[in-house]
Amino acid sequence: GIQVEQSPPDLILQEGANSTLRCNFSDSVNNLQWFHQNPWGQLINLFYIPSGTKQNGRLSATTVATERYSLLYISSSQTTDSGVYFCAVERDRDTGFQKLVFGTGTRLLVSP
């Protein structure tokens, strides 16, 4: 099956710093989503981004589908950004519509 690798596995930032999280996937994809799991366990969808670039406030994401990677940028980080960030991909419609495969995540800690 498709492999989804995220880096770095752990990241510690001082409040106000910027960061880039990376997601590499081993095959072509139809769908790519970024999620944030907060310290209470809630999974929140951040971006639906199978290709191109999107921005939402301090967060932005870029997916280069032809090179099989996606980047999540966090600018001016805040303590509320702490948690685990997951990348999830849907390989193609033949293997199952919306059948997402999740990466192992990047655990982010933002200290005040």
Partner 1 sequence: DAGVIQSPRHEVTEMGQEVTLRCKPISGHDYLFWYRQTMMRGLELLIYFNNNVPIDDSGMPEDRFSAKMPNASFSTLKIQPSEPRDSAVYFCASSPGLRGVQITQYFGPGTRLTVL
Q: Taking contact as CB under 8 A, which single stretch among the options 11-19, 55-63, 71-79, 95-103 is the one that binds partner 1? A: 95-103
Count of chain residues binding partner 1 (CB under 8 A): 21
Q: Which is nearer to partner 1, 9 or 16 (CB)?
A: 9
Buried b (16+ CB within 10 A) or exposed e, 89-102: bbbeeeeeeeebbe
What's the min distance (Å) between Cβ of 60 and partner 1?
16
Is residue 96 part of the contact set for partner 1 (CB under 8 A)? yes
* Among candidate residues 31, 17, 3, the one with its CA nearest the CA of residue 108: 17
Is residue 39 part of the contact set for partner 1 (CB under 8 A)? no
Task: Map residue 88 onto helix, strand or coil.
Answer: strand
Can you spell out the DSSP letters for 53-67?
Answer: EEEETTEEEEEEGGG
Is residue 78 part of the contact set for partner 1 (CB under 8 A)? no
CA–CA–CA angle 7, 2, 101 (5° rounding): 70
Is residue 51 part of the contact set for partner 1 (CB under 8 A)? no
Binding residues for partner 1, per CB under 8 A?
A: 31, 33, 35, 41-45, 48, 86, 88, 96-105
